């Protein structure tokens, strides 16, 4: 594959998947296909069923390691949640030897695991809400011990499956008596659950988009020993999430009128700068590439990182696309740029000997 990518790209768009976010993925992937067409590219729809089978034009798709995928230039895995956003599909694409959009295997796996991500951010000194990770086996073996640890978080708390997104399986718990039931409900989705202290701050989101080689500064940022080098990326102005309900649940995220994105976020100038700094730091520490949406709480000026999403919702009205558009990159240009970044990474990695 030439470093000088053709103007018109054939792009395999992976949609659906095995996770509970299957339908959300289909909506995102349909939008990506439209955006690719507007950018002058040729999308090829590959749907992954809830059974895990890949199908192209209605037929089961067979692939061969090292053989690419349908002869396309690049793959756009518009998949959310486990078996798609967690490094599994990224590993399959590496095995096929094909360029693909977004984070690689390790970063995808890391960011999908909410507990592991928070442990990394904590080790790096990134500020965040207090939390406890709970494995099902330990909860069943030592419930009193676990309950004592959770009590240190105070109330209310949020109980979440560690490897899901879109607020699936999450419960807000206001009293100790409700913790057991919330944990069991979350364990139905995931053997690892995270329990987080509630933040009463403003919910803010920030988008990160990699820069193609020709737009990068002549010299990249340098590490000072405490922080990783700043990656070459565009970082949006923070957007504020406003919702009518008690918390930012699944309905608020996806129901019509469930949330409002306020741009720019109604936070201080200093907090806005800090959000953007931490978004880049989290992106770099996690080893992300291409894109990410980083979610924050801003409490009286203090900025806390909540999560990092390597493949956020991707319709033109999704938060990520709106934040990037407000930064001067319209949707067709966004999907085009992500494909170009994928091809650049592919060529860069092929230059190494393994």
What are the structural domain ranges in the chain? 10-101+334-350, 109-127+200-310, 131-197
- Global model pTM greater than 0.75: yes
342 to 2, 139, 146, 151, 213: CA distances (angstroms): 13, 42, 43, 45, 11
- If you ran DSSP here, which 8-state letter would residue 215 be given? G
| Cis, peptide link before residue 302, omega less than 30° from 0 | no
CB atoms within 10 A of CB 144: 6
Quick one: pLDDT at residue 245?
Answer: 67
According to CATH, what is the number of the domain 10-101+334-350?
A: 3.40.50.20
Topology alike, domains 109-127+200-310 and 131-197: no
Half-sphere exposure of 250 (CA within 13 A, CB side): 13
Chunked in runs of 10, what are the mean pLDDT values of the chain (354 residues)? Answer: 70 95 95 98 98 97 96 97 95 98 98 97 96 97 95 95 78 91 94 95 97 74 55 93 69 64 96 97 96 96 95 94 97 98 95 82
Fold for domain 131-197?
Dna Ligase; domain 1 (3.30.1490)
Domain 109-127+200-310: top CATH class? alpha beta
Quick one: pLDDT at residue 3?
Answer: 46
- Residue 260, Cα to own-chain centre: how many angstroms? 20
């Amino acid at each position: 594959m030439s470093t000088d990518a053709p103007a018109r790209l054939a792009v395999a768009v992976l949609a659906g998947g095995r996770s509970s976010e299957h339908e959300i993925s289909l909506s995102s992937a349909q939008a990506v296909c439209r955006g690719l067409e507007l950018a002058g590219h040729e999308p090829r729809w590959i749907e992954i069923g809830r059974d895990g089978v890949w199908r192209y034009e209605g037929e089961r798709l067979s692939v061969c390691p090292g053989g690419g995928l349908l002869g396309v230039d690049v793959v756009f895995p518009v998949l959310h949640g486990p078996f798609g956003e967690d490094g599994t599909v990224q590993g399959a694409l590496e095995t096929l030897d094909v360029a693909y959009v977004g984070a690689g295997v390790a970063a995808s796996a890391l960011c999908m695991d909410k507990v592991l991500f928070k442990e990394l951010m904590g080790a790096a000194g990134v500020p965040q809400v207090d939390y406890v990770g709970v494995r099902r086996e330990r909860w069943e073996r030592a419930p009193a011990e676990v309950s004592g640890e959770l009590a240190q978080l105070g109330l209310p708390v949020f109980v979440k499956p560690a490897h899901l997104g879109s607020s699936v399986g999450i419960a807000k718990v206001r009293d100790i008596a409700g913790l057991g039931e919330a944990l069991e409900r979350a364990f139905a989705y995931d053997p690892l659950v995270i329990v987080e202290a509630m933040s009463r701050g403003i919910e803010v989101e920030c988008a990160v988009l990699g820069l193609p080689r020709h737009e990068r500064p002549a010299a990249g940022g340098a590490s000072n020993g405490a922080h990783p080098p700043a990656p070459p990326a565009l970082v949006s102005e923070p957007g504020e999430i406003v919702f009518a309900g008690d918390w930012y649940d699944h309905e608020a995220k996806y129901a019509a009128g469930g949330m409002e994105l306020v741009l720019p976020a109604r936070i201080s100038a200093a907090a806005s700068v800090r959000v953007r700094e931490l978004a880049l730091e989290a992106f770099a520490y996690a080893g992300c590439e291409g894109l990410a949406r980083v979610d924050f709480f801003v409490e009286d000026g203090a900025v806390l990182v909540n999560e990092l999403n390597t493949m956020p919702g991707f319709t033109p009205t999704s938060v990520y696309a709106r934040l990037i558009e407000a930064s001067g990159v319209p949707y067709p240009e966004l999907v085009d740029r992500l494909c170009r970044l994928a091809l650049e990474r592919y060529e860069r990695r092929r230059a190494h000997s393994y």
